[in-house]
Amino acid sequence: MKTVTAEPLTKHAFRPFGDVIETEGAESLLINGGMCRRFNDLARVEAVGEGARVLVNIFRARPYPLPLKLAIVERHPLGSQAFVPLQPRPFLAIVCPDEAGRPGTPRAFLAQPGQGVNYARNTWHAVLTPIGGEVQDFLVIDRGGEGSNLEEFFFADPFEVRLPEAP
């Protein structure tokens, strides 16, 4: 089985796939008489097509054991999908470049506490993957409305996703 080793989640590395939602490196301004710092516009939210609107949801997800067998990815042609952890625990954001309508080799990004992700519209990604050993809640911002907004792809040869070896 081919192995994918997780890499750190950074804005730069993740840019082809969407946004990292974090305060680190974000523009900000003071508001409310100096009582609040606003880190502004951290994700490109898209919801297109008939009757489209932006949904706010909470996903309560069970953690996956590692190494992870990755057999399926999906994408949403009509909307972005953002995941922000509501507890300070890590999770894996697994994405694939598109290669002529099919997912290429996956990349796994290890999100640290304080980081969320927004998958850009039509970006191949694995299902939400907490790894911390405990059930984890995420705030999820995605699209509701009519239309076919899910495309799935099954890898004939699944991948194995691992964390890097501790140095």
Q: Does 57 bind its own copies (CB under 8 A)?
A: yes
Count of positions on this chain that bind its own copies (CB under 8 A): 43
Q: What are phi and psi of 11, to 5 degrees?
A: -55, -45
Q: What HEC string does 126-156 produce?
A: CCCEECCCCCEEEEEEEEECCCCCCEEEEEE
Q: How far is the CB of 100 from its own copies (least distance, A)?
A: 27
Residues 163 and 6: their CA atoms lie apart, in Å, by 5
CA-nearest of 45, 11, 7 to 25 is 11
Q: How far is the CB of 47 from its own copies (least distance, A)?
A: 8
Out of 35, 100, 156, 166, the residue judged to bind its own copies by CB under 8 A? 35
> What is the contact surface with its own copies in residues (CB under 8 A)?
21-23, 26, 31-33, 35-43, 45, 47, 53-62, 64, 82, 84, 86-88, 116, 118, 127-128, 137, 139-141, 144
